[in-house]
Homo-oligomer: A and B are copies of this chain.
Amino acid sequence: MLKEEKVFRDPVHRYVHVQDQVIWDLIGTKEMQRLRRIRQLGTSFYTFHGAEHSRFSHSLGVYEITRKIISQFERHHLAEWPQEERLLCLCAALLHDVGHGPFSHSIEAALHMNHEDWTCRILTENTEVNQVLRKVSAEFPDKVAEVIQKKYPKSIVVSLISSQLDADRMDYILRDAYHTGANYGTYDLERIIRVLRPHKGHLVIKESGMHAVEAYLMSRYQMHWQVYFHPVTRSSEIILTKIFQRAKALYESGYQFSFLCSPMDYLIEGTVSVEQYMMLDESFIQMTMMQWTLEKDHILSDLCSRFLHRRLFKYTSMEQIDESLIDAVRLKLSQCGYDPEYYMAVDFPSDLSYDVNRPGMLEKKIPIYLLTESDELVDISEKSHIVRSISGIHNGMHHLYFPEGII
């Protein structure tokens, strides 16, 4: 433990409290500091100009919520709470996003990467994070990785970090709402923490807290439709994905880039080392795109200009996929000199992971359990009309994206 508690001022939680030397040291590692240069919401700042906050801020927030939950367990539910897991939970909370790359939603799609794999490599390979964790014990880095990969045997530990009602979601809904200015994302965190409790190895909710959980799920629902799936954000993500598809195609065809700073080459090849990965941040990507606006390949330079100067694709909505419309747009694009492979995309928002509890998915996802007064566990969707109603929702709208002026 630290001699004196340290605090960070945080706009969402007011203060983030650090009591453990290990947590303090982890925050100071260069792997954690790198997250300051990666935005929490990727390209959403093009839709909501306030959405400029980083994964570093979010990581501190997830840590703080986890700390508060555990502190409540220690005060009120000591018998059911495995105290020895405290530090493990806190470290996993803080580090759960450490493997995120720049604009990960879009670039991972184009380059077939996965940030969770990177998180595990950072935890277990030769990094500052690994050094700090090893001071706890030799197997501690692997244990943290197991929690993040949801392989750790104790369900309650995993559930705190990743479940329907975990510290990750609890923080990002509040934080994203705060920075975008979308005021749908306010639910009563303090009350949710009060009604959470450990019960026979599971994380459950006291039944009297059902309405608070409904409000949390509604906030999440609203944030998905109004922020995360916003068509303007999707448009910018699509352009970004196309940029990296194009760069990869050019690279593989032997094109000579005017600007190609290492480790971009390794990134495209899929052979980046952990040390190189640490140099990859949104500055690296944005500066590269800025230099690429000067490339002679017109598609690459045009897409980069579009992204940086926010000349995004427009879209039209389709209730069902309309092949004749798509064909017409493809034809028009070709006539106008646009390559449809890079200037057109069909998007269906719920393709993005939206994991509100659905009846048909119970085998995969752990539901949110209510603990009734008679000490039984009931899936919240059995008790709550609201939860049931949002469980299975698909947005029927497909969006077709293309450059302005095409239709």
Contact = CB atoms under 8 A, between A and B. Distances in A.
18 contacts: A7-B194, A8-B49, A10-B49, A10-B50, A10-B181, A11-B178, A11-B180, A11-B181, A36-B45, A50-B53, A186-B186, A211-B222, A211-B225, A281-B290, A283-B284, A283-B285, A283-B290, A386-B390
A33 B290 CA distance: 13
Contacts of A57: 49-50, 52
Contact of A30 (B182, B183, B186, B309): B309
A348 interface: no
Secondary structure dominating the interface of A: helix
Nearest to A262: B291
A282 to B, nearest CB: 7
A179 B53 CA distance: 9
B259 A181 contact: no
Contacts of A15: 190, 194
Interface residues of A, number: 68
Contact of A28 (B56, B310, B388): B310
Interface of A: 4-5, 7-12, 14-15, 28, 30, 33, 36-37, 45, 48-50, 52-54, 56-57, 60, 76, 178-184, 186-188, 190, 194, 211, 214-215, 218, 221-222, 225-226, 259, 261, 279, 281-288, 290-291, 308-310, 385-386, 388-390, 393
Contacts of A284: 283, 287, 290
Contact of A182 (B9, B184, B287): B9
Nearest to A7: B194
A384 to B, nearest CB: 9
Given A52-B54, A179-B179, 17 more contacts: A4-B76, A9-B180, A10-B50, A14-B181, A14-B190, A33-B309, A45-B54, A49-B56, A50-B53, A183-B188, A184-B187, A211-B225, A218-B218, A261-B261, A385-B390, A386-B386, A386-B390
A295 to B, nearest CB: 14
Nearest to A128: B309
Q: Which 9 A-B pairs have the closest CB atoms?
A: A389-B389, A11-B181, A283-B286, A283-B283, A30-B309, A287-B287, A11-B50, A283-B287, A9-B181
A259 B261 CA distance: 9
A79 to B, nearest CB: 14
A28 B179 CA distance: 22
A15 B189 CA distance: 12
Contacts of A388: 389
